[in-house]
Structures are given as structure tokens and as C-alpha cells.
Chain A
Amino acid sequence: MAELLAGKRIFVIEDNAYNVALLQTILQQNGAIVAFERWGKDTLRLLRNFAPVDLILLDLMFPQGITGYEVFDEIRAAPEFQQVPIVAVTAADPDEEIPKAQAKGFDGFIRKPIRYGVFERQLADVLAGKSIWAVE
């Protein structure tokens, strides 16, 4: 199997346990090293423990009222993570969220359900410096 993400360190912030398992499976299958944060509340410390980071995948909605945009700001406020690409991976309505995500400076937006088989290539593209706005 071609390992599109071999050796890439990917940090995932996602609250749904089944989706955590799904992302873990797909990313590890493609050779990535993965760490997770589930609530958006303890991101920065866990991110520092996991560093260096190549890519951050960020859900936009969490229980307990935290939004992905707040988490985004928290990450970007840390000097060592200002260059790490952040991609929104979310089931939220792209009509509403894409303009906001673009204004914030996200490096991409992948709508759930993701496409196994396409998703890995989208991430490889982001890692190669492209931005991805996939909403189908």
C-alpha cells in the first residue's frame, strides 16, 4: 500500500469517539503518527507534548459550547504553531462555515462524511502546500 502520509505527525481534535477511531484507522493505515484531543479544552498542552506537528485536523463544534474557531485562535497564538497547517474537518454547513474558516485563515475545509480513498490524498495535498475546500 502506498503510504501517502508516511511519518507525518498529525494532531486531531475531534469529540466523537467513533470518528476518532475512524480517523485513527485511516491515518495510521497511511503511515501517519497520530495524537488526539477530544474536547478542545486541553489542546495547547497536548499539542506541545506531541510536537513537532506537521498537520492539525480540527472539528468546528464541540459539546460544552467551545467552537473550533476558539481552538484555532488558541493554537495560532502560540509562536511555535503559527506555520502548522490547520484543516477543518466538520459536519457543519459549508455555506455558513467556509466563509468564516477562510476569513480565519484555515488551510482547508473537508466536509464530513469524509471520503475514504480521497481524504488521504486531500491531506497529502495540504501537506504539499495546497489549500483544500472540499464540500461534496
Chain B
Amino acid sequence: MANLRLRTQLILLLLAIGLIPAVVTSAITLFITADQFRERVILDEQNHHNDIIANMTRFLDTAESDILILANSAVIRDLAATIVSRDSLRLEQLRRTLEQEFLTMAQWRRVGDTPIYEHIRFLNADGFEFVRIDNKGDSITAAPGFGLNVRNDEDYFVQAQALNAGEIYVAPLELFDEFGEIQEPYTPVLRYSTPIYHEDTFVGVLVTDVRAREFLQFVQNLLSPDDISFLVDHDGYYLSHPDEQLLYGRDLNTGERLQNDFPQLVALFERGQAGVVDLDEFLAIYQPFSPPGIEENWFLVTLRPQASVLAFIRTQQQALMLTIAVIAVVVVGIAFWVGQSISRPIVELTETATVMAQGQLDRQIKLNRKDEIGQLAAAFNSMSAQLRDFINSLETRVAERTRDLEAAADVSRQISTVLALDKLLAQVVELTRQRFNLYHVFVFLLNENGDTLEMASVTGGLIKLFTPEERNIACEARPSIVAQAAREKQAVVVNDVQTNPNYLSLAPVAQTRSEVAVPMILGDKLIGVMDFESTHPDYFGADDVRVFTSLAQQVAVAVNNARLFAEQLRVAEELRQLEQMKTRFLSSMSHELRTPLNAVINFGLLMRDGAYGEVNEGQLSALNMIISSGEHLLSLVNDVLDMSKIEAGRMSFYMEDIDLKPELQQAVETARGLIGERDTQLIVNIPHSLPKIHGDKRRLRQLFLNLLSNAVKFTNSKIVVQVEHKDSHLVISVVDDGPGVPQDSVERIFEAFHQTPSGVEQGTGTGLGLPISRYFAEAHGGKLWVESVSGEGATFYLSLPIARVESV
């Protein structure tokens, strides 16, 4: 009877264990899934909206830059000049060239396979079409002479006349019309126009008509076939909609607009923010945005039918019910099998245990199983064996005590060199368990607030098995012998946990019978508690407690060392990361600054060169200032980036055997350019042949140029550059007759941001050139120094070691 009852209980229990979580999990999952699915739909749609808007933005941006590229082209500039000079023969030639230019652009710019330009036109100053390209769907051609018309009262012509060169007028999106007649099939177009000038004379207007259907159609690229997406302009008229009847309500006077269909959305549009709203049948995801070049906001909306969201959830529901049913069947099957196989041996075990409890210690259980029941049997067997051994082993205990002391010394010796805290504690507990033959050993460390003991390490990697509550023991916790040891700062011993009311049994160490908790004390400060556990009752004596106390103290010292070490590592790592962040920041800053400098400096050079007409003296001097300010900014950007790389230890050199002469000569040429019209003599004295140097060409050129441009900056009338071969070095000297370097500054000028008074006066340096140069010299195994008498000029010396001759 007893047998049957146990099995029934087990089956019921297993059923409960198997089914309850399955049902609960399913319910929760369903609940969460429904919610998450809705969130995901929204997120997907929002991302999709962003993609659509990015594509439209890119399209409009390209249309803007296209018209600027055309306006800036050589042929338009040539045409502008020709119109002013009234050379009619040349004008006719240019008409053909311009047609070609327009045709190329119209053929070339497409969305998918569709050319986007309806027309590209040049209107002369009277508004007459000089060249017009027509896109007839299947072909793109230049309009013949008799097909050209006057457009002087069109908005795009009138508005563009009022603009400066480089400015663009964008007409509101409208359906293509010819002299007021809307043409079918309806073609929505965006008109871009920009005025063309020759010097100050207005010569005409460049107009591009961009077919908008192709890019408005981006909106109909749906995420789900159930979706309805549409785009409206700021008055609510549909620009893109799956139902073509609703489109262009303004131009076609149908009055179809968002206000008629979804007045709730109009209010949200006016609020100007993206969002989601539940309409009756739909989930509406909406986003207003401002298309580049167009002076109004547009509103993108996607309607996802609620039914399509719910349908998904319903399928999920059915799938879950099926899963639960399958689990139930499987669990019942397993329950029968397990119940059968557990209950039989337990009954057998119970009988044997009863006999043992009556004092027959030599009785052994014969059970050949590897599961918990088998372990239980083995534990029974070993328990009885241990009891027998204990009685036989009193005389060996003295010898063991001596071994314990040696073991403690050994543990502390082995851990004294481990600096990583986790590793250290793992070694402490494992070594202690081995050497003292214990069940388990714990280390708890006091937290920063000093109110909680946190479990830091446990033998056998058991730490994962404890719950967070079990891992963190408040110092005030009762009952807890660990907390008690911390409060009293002395060892606490429990001889038999089964008879101690203060003992709190924990599942992962259920076999603990006796336990010692010892405080870890550094100076007079508590830093943690070590806890020793045995499976035997009365395992720990007074000697053990003394040995453990001294061990805990040595562990405390080791923990402290490890913490100090970790702190230092952390600080060092933080510094390294900061340096790297700085370099990365400066590197991207340098990119961002160089990009506009490219335009500033080079357009300055182009203008100075006369590319935009003759330059008068005042303009020339202003241009020179723009160019040299640009160059100065550029050298600042370079020097700051170089300096930060040097400081972060990330400066790299590409070393090879090189001939110095061409590099020096190139730097000298650049220096001559810097001297320009000034009356300064530059004397160069380089021997005919020089031994090779092992170095980085680019950095050395930078170094030479730095020394030479300093000399040009400071000298009065003369610079001498000389190279000499001295023993194993080449010594390059640069002599100037400027104000020289004050005696107290001959070293300081090599420090970052230090400038001499005359250097500050010049206002063109960065204070970084010499420190960088010295770093380069030293990275080549060389030296850079200055000798100077204040007021009588300065000599900079650079010595570089000669490359060792490789055997040929």
C-alpha cells in the first residue's frame, strides 16, 4: 500500500511541476508576445518610414546638386560670356554643345531605369527657351527650333531673376501643364530654377523639371501587403496614395484630401511630431518631415489593419494551446515511468536505513545506480564507514595537526603572488579545502558601505547555485554565523549544525555538519569573513580555529594587495582609453576641418589664378590673406593631430633606406616659395654624394620644412643650409640672422606650445612644430638642438645616424 501511495504522489507532483509552468509560461508569453508584436510592427514601420524619407531626401538633394553642377559647368560659363559678347556664330555652336550637355544629364540621372528629368531648359534673359530637352517617355530629344517658346511670365523664370548666382528656386509640386492646360497622363513635377550671370550681367535662367512620380512612388514600396501608405502635402492633398483617384486634389479640383478621410490625423500632423495612433480599424504610424529645398512639411502615414495584427496573435494562441497539450501528454508518460523507477529503490533504502539506525553499522546497502538515489545509498555506506574510522583514528590526530599548520603556510605562500582578486580567492578556497580536507570553503568580502558581506568565492564553483539573497548577508543578519563573526570580529564555531538553532541551512551545501567562520582583519579593519565547512560533526577543534585565524589574516593582506593592484590597472586603462579617445576625436576633427579647407584654399587659388575674371590689387591681397589663413589653419590641424598621436604613442613611421638629398631639395624649393618677393638670400651647401639614412621620407621632409619655414619666418636677410658628414652621423644645420633665441629658452622652445616673444609677435606658428620635429629626430635615433646668441640669429642642428651598410 505504502508503495502505491508514494508512486501516486510522485505522478501527481510531476504533473503539477510539468504543467503549471507550461501553462503559466504560455499565458505570460502570449500576453507579452501580443504586446511585443504590436511594438515590433510599429518599430518596423517607423524604420521603414525613415528609409523612405532618406530615399526621398537623397533624391531631392541630388536634384538640387544637379542643377548647381549644370550651372557651374564649363559650357554654361562659356555661353554666359558669349551672350554678353554677342558673338552669334559662337552662340549657335554653343546651342549644340549645351543640348549635348543637357541630354547627357537627362539620360544619366535615373531612378531605377526611369530618367527623372521631364525637361532641362536654358531660358535667355527675355525668358525665351534657348535650349530645351524633352523626355517623351520612350526617347529623350532636344526640342527643334520651332518648338521653343517664351516663358517670361512663368513663376520659375520670374522668381529666379530675383536670386543671386548659386541660389535655387523650387516651385511647389504641381501637375505638368502646357500654357495652363494640365497634360494627361498626369505627371507631377518639381521645377528647379537658378539664374545665370556673366560677372554682374544677368544672362538667363537654367530650369530643370524633375518627374516626381518616381520618387513619390517610394511611398508605395510597402512593408506588408496589408498596409496602406500615403503621403500628403501640408494642406492635406494626397501626393502618393494606392488609390489614384484621390491624388492631386488641389490641381484637379476634386477636393480629395486627408481632412475628408482622417480628420484625427490632420490634428496630429499639425503637432509636427512622429507617432502612432489607434484608429478604429487601423493602427496608424505617421511621420511629418521637411523635404529638402521645398518650403513646407509633408506627412507620411502608414495604416496597418488591426485585423492583420490580431491574426498573427490568434495563430500564436492556437500554436500555444497545441504545445501545452503535447507537453501534458509527454509529462504524464514521463511521470508514470519515473514514479515506477524511483519508488521501488526508495522503499528498499528505507528498510536498510531503519536497520542501520538500530546500530548495525557494518550493514551495507547494495544498490548499483548512478542517480541521486545511488548517491544517497553511497552516502549511507560511507557514513557508516566514517563512523567506524573515526573511532579507530584518534591516535593519528596529533600528526594531522602538524600537517595542518604546514598546509596553512603552504596556502598563504602559494597565494602571495596572485594579483587578480577573483583568481586569488578561487585559489585560496580550493587550496584550503584540499589541504584541510574540508567539504566547502567560502570567502565573503565586506562591501563598500560596510553593511553587507558579499559571497566572493566558493569551492567547486558552487557560487552560481546560491540565490542573490544567500550571496549577500547583511552584517546585522540573525541567525548567521558569518555575520556574527563579522560583528564580533572573532571566530565563531558550530560543532553540529543539526543541534544549533542559529544555523541556517543552504541547499547547495546541504551536507554541512560543522562550520567555522573567521573574520579577515587588516590592521583593525574588517574586510571579510572566511567560512570553513565539514560534513562531519565536531570536526573543528581550538587548534584548527587558531590556524584558520592566522590564515584569514594572511588572505586579508593578499586581498588588499590585489585590490590596490586592480585599482592601479583601472587607472592606467582609463588613461590609455582617454588618450585613444582624444586621438580618435582629433582624427575625425581633422577630417571635418580639412574637407571645407579643401574648398576654401583651392577656390582662393583658382580666383587668384584668374579663373573667375581679372583680379585687382585689393582683391589680390584679400585672396592672399584667405589662402594663407587657410594654410595656417591647416598646419594647426596637422600639428595638433601629430602631437596627440605622439602623446598617445600612436605615431607610426615607415622606415626605409633613403637618400636625403632629394627630400632636402624639395623642402628648400618650398622654402624659396615662402620667401617669394622678399629680399632674403638662401644659400644651400649639400655635398655631391651623401650616405643613405634609415628613415621615414615623409616625416623627414616635414622636419626639414619645419626648420626651413622657421628660418624664413625669423631671418632678416640670409639663410644658410648645410649638410656635413661627421663620423657615423649626418649633421644638417640651418642658420638664420634673425632675433635668435633667448638663452633661457633654448630648451623650452622644444616644449609644446612654448613660443619665443618674437614667435608670438609673428602670430603664424602653432608652438608645436619644434616639439614634433624633435620627436621625429629622436625617433630616427638622432638629435635636434639650437645654438643661439640673442639678437644675432640662431643655428638649428639636426643630426641623423647613417644607415648601416648591408652586405651586397
Which A positions have Cβ atoms within 8 angstroms of B? Answer: 16-22, 24-26, 28-29, 35-36, 38-39, 41, 45-46, 49-50, 61, 64, 91-93, 95-96, 111-117, 135-136
Indicate whether A28 sits within 8 Å of B74 (C-beta atoms), given known contacts A36-B69, A96-B587: yes
Indicate whether A16 sits within 8 Å of B595 (C-beta atoms), given known contacts A22-B603, A116-B609: yes
Nearest-CB residue, chain A, relative to B587 = A93
Contact A49 B108 (CB under 8 A): yes
Complex contacts, B597 vs chain A, CB 8 Å: 112-113
B683 interface contact, C-beta 8 A: no
Contact A114 B65 (CB under 8 A): no
| 12 contacts across the A-B interface (CB closer than 8 A) | A20-B69, A21-B599, A22-B606, A29-B74, A46-B108, A91-B592, A93-B590, A112-B595, A113-B597, A113-B602, A114-B598, A115-B602
Indicate whether A113 sits within 8 Å of B601 (C-beta atoms), given known contacts A25-B606, A38-B62, A39-B58: yes
Number of A-B contacts (CB under 8 A): 90
Q: Give 12 A-B pairs besides A19-B595, A25-B606, A29-B611 with Cβ atoms closer than 8 angstroms.
A: A22-B599, A29-B74, A38-B65, A49-B108, A50-B108, A91-B590, A91-B591, A95-B652, A112-B594, A113-B598, A116-B605, A117-B609
Complex contacts, B609 vs chain A, CB 8 Å: 116-117
Minimum CB–CB distance from B653 to chain A (whole Å) comes to 10
Contact A113 B594 (CB under 8 A): yes
The residue that A24 contacts in the complex, of B61, B72, B593, B634, with Cβ under 8 A, is: B72
Contact A21 B68 (CB under 8 A): yes
Nearest-CB residue, chain B, relative to A45 = B110
- Interfacial residues of chain B within 575-612, with CB under 8 A of chain A in the complex: 587, 590-599, 601-603, 605-606, 609, 611
Tell me the bound Cα distance from A52 to B405 in angstroms.
Answer: 88
Flag B167-181 by CB within 8 Å of A: 1 or 0 each.
Answer: 000000000000000
Minimum CB–CB distance from A127 to chain B (whole Å) comes to 19
Contact A91 B598 (CB under 8 A): yes
B7 interface contact, C-beta 8 A: no
Q: Which of B74, B108, B590, B630 has the most CB of A within 10 A?
A: B74
Contact A117 B645 (CB under 8 A): no
Minimum CB–CB distance from A8 to chain B (whole Å) comes to 14
Tell me the bound Cα distance from A93 to B589 in angstroms.
Answer: 10
Complex contacts, A111 vs chain B, CB 8 Å: 594
The residue that B108 contacts in the complex, of A35, A39, A91, with Cβ under 8 A, is: A35
Tell me the bound Cα distance from A1 to B645 in angstroms.
Answer: 43
Complex contacts, A36 vs chain B, CB 8 Å: 69
5 shortest interchain CB distances as A-B pairs: A91-B594, A18-B599, A116-B605, A113-B598, A112-B598
Nearest-CB residue, chain A, relative to B583 = A93
Complex contacts, B602 vs chain A, CB 8 Å: 22, 26, 113-116
Minimum CB–CB distance from B612 to chain A (whole Å) comes to 9
Nearest-CB residue, chain A, relative to B638 = A136
Complex contacts, A16 vs chain B, CB 8 Å: 595, 599
B615 interface contact, C-beta 8 A: no
Contact A91 B595 (CB under 8 A): yes
Contact A24 B73 (CB under 8 A): yes
Q: Classify the secondary structure of B's interface with A.
A: helix
B546 interface contact, C-beta 8 A: no
Tell me the bound Cα distance from A113 to B600 in angstroms.
Answer: 9
Complex contacts, B74 vs chain A, CB 8 Å: 28-29
Contact B634 A116 (CB under 8 A): no
Tell me the bound Cα distance from A117 to B606 in angstroms.
Answer: 9
Complex contacts, B641 vs chain A, CB 8 Å: 93
Nearest-CB residue, chain B, relative to A18 = B599
Tell me the bound Cα distance from A121 to B798 in angstroms.
Answer: 33
The residue that B65 contacts in the complex, of A20, A22, A28, A92, with Cβ under 8 A, is: A20
Tell me the bound Cα distance from A17 to B593 in angstroms.
Answer: 15
The residue that B599 contacts in the complex, of A19, A38, A46, with Cβ under 8 A, is: A19
Nearest-CB residue, chain B, relative to A32 = B74
Complex contacts, B61 vs chain A, CB 8 Å: 38
Complex contacts, B65 vs chain A, CB 8 Å: 17, 20, 38
Complex contacts, A35 vs chain B, CB 8 Å: 108
Minimum CB–CB distance from A65 to chain B (whole Å) comes to 12
B54 interface contact, C-beta 8 A: yes
Minimum CB–CB distance from A42 to chain B (whole Å) comes to 9
Tell me the bound Cα distance from A122 to B65 in angstroms.
Answer: 27
Tell me the bound Cα distance from A34 to B377 in angstroms.
Answer: 89
Minimum CB–CB distance from A27 to chain B (whole Å) comes to 10
B561 interface contact, C-beta 8 A: no
Complex contacts, A92 vs chain B, CB 8 Å: 591
B217 interface contact, C-beta 8 A: no
B698 interface contact, C-beta 8 A: yes
Tell me the bound Cα distance from A46 to B105 in angstroms.
Answer: 11
B107 interface contact, C-beta 8 A: yes
Tell me the bound Cα distance from A111 to B587 in angstroms.
Answer: 14
Minimum CB–CB distance from B617 to chain A (whole Å) comes to 21
The residue that B606 contacts in the complex, of A19, A26, A46, A61, with Cβ under 8 A, is: A26
Complex contacts, B108 vs chain A, CB 8 Å: 35, 46, 49-50
- Interfacial residues of chain B within 205-233, with CB under 8 A of chain A in the complex: none
Complex contacts, B605 vs chain A, CB 8 Å: 116-117
Contact B596 A18 (CB under 8 A): yes
Tell me the bound Cα distance from A18 to B603 in angstroms.
Answer: 10
Nearest-CB residue, chain B, relative to A94 = B698
Tell me the bound Cα distance from A133 to B304 in angstroms.
Answer: 55
Nearest-CB residue, chain A, relative to B62 = A38
Complex contacts, A24 vs chain B, CB 8 Å: 69, 72-73
Q: Which of B68, B107, B598 has the most CB of A within 10 A?
A: B598
Tell me the bound Cα distance from A132 to B526 in angstroms.
Answer: 68
Complex contacts, B652 vs chain A, CB 8 Å: 95
Tell me the bound Cα distance from A66 to B516 in angstroms.
Answer: 64
Tell me the bound Cα distance from A40 to B144 in angstroms.
Answer: 36
Tell me the bound Cα distance from A88 to B411 in angstroms.
Answer: 62
Tell me the bound Cα distance from A38 to B109 in angstroms.
Answer: 12
Nearest-CB residue, chain B, relative to A50 = B108
Nearest-CB residue, chain A, relative to B75 = A28
Complex contacts, A91 vs chain B, CB 8 Å: 590-595, 598
Complex contacts, A22 vs chain B, CB 8 Å: 598-599, 602-603, 606
Complex contacts, B651 vs chain A, CB 8 Å: 95
Complex contacts, A116 vs chain B, CB 8 Å: 601-602, 605-606, 609
Nearest-CB residue, chain A, relative to B634 = A113
Tell me the bound Cα distance from A49 to B590 in angstroms.
Answer: 35
Contact B54 A64 (CB under 8 A): yes
Flag B601-635 by CB within 8 Å of A: 1 or 0 each.
Answer: 11101100101000000000000000000100010
Tell me the bound Cα distance from A133 to B548 in angstroms.
Answer: 70
Tell me the bound Cα distance from A31 to B609 in angstroms.
Answer: 17
Flag B393-434 by CB within 8 Å of A: 1 or 0 each.
Answer: 000000000000000000000000000000000000000000
Contact B698 A21 (CB under 8 A): no
Minimum CB–CB distance from B590 to chain A (whole Å) comes to 7
Complex contacts, A114 vs chain B, CB 8 Å: 598, 602
Complex contacts, A50 vs chain B, CB 8 Å: 108
Tell me the bound Cα distance from A28 to B76 in angstroms.
Answer: 12
Tell me the bound Cα distance from A135 to B652 in angstroms.
Answer: 15
Complex contacts, A28 vs chain B, CB 8 Å: 73-74
Nearest-CB residue, chain B, relative to A89 = B598
Minimum CB–CB distance from B245 to chain A (whole Å) comes to 33
Complex contacts, A136 vs chain B, CB 8 Å: 698, 701-702
Tell me the bound Cα distance from A54 to B658 in angstroms.
Answer: 33
The residue that A21 contacts in the complex, of B72, B587, B591, B630, with Cβ under 8 A, is: B72
Complex contacts, B593 vs chain A, CB 8 Å: 91
Minimum CB–CB distance from B581 to chain A (whole Å) comes to 15
Complex contacts, B702 vs chain A, CB 8 Å: 136
Complex contacts, A17 vs chain B, CB 8 Å: 65, 68
Nearest-CB residue, chain A, relative to B105 = A35
Minimum CB–CB distance from A60 to chain B (whole Å) comes to 9
Contact B645 A95 (CB under 8 A): yes
Indicate whether A19 sits within 8 Å of B598 (C-beta atoms), given known contacts A91-B590, A92-B591: yes
Tell me the bound Cα distance from A95 to B652 in angstroms.
Answer: 7
